[in-house]
């Protein structure tokens, strides 16, 4: 249902935030790479 979908989206956002923090040392390149892959996954 909708609640599950919202939960999945929140989990996804959390994972993305963690990944972005992990890639912060790489600067913009790491973030662009993550965003591109994330959009592809959607």
Going residue by residue through the chain (42 aa), what tens digit of pLDDT does each one get? 888 888 888 888 888 887 777 666 556 666 677 777 766 665
- What's the rounded Cα separation, in Å, for the pair 22 and 2? 30
Q: Can you give the length of the chain in residues? A: 42
DSSP reduced 3-state for 10? helix
pLDDT at 23: 64
pLDDT at 17: 81
pLDDT at 28: 64
pLDDT at 30: 64
pLDDT at 14: 83
pLDDT at 41: 60
């Amino acid at each position: 249902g909708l609640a599950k979908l919202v939960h999945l989206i929140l989990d996804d956002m959390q994972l993305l935030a963690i990944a972005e923090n992990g890639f912060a040392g790489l600067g913009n390149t790491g973030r662009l790479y993550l965003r591109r892959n994330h959009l592809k996954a959607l």
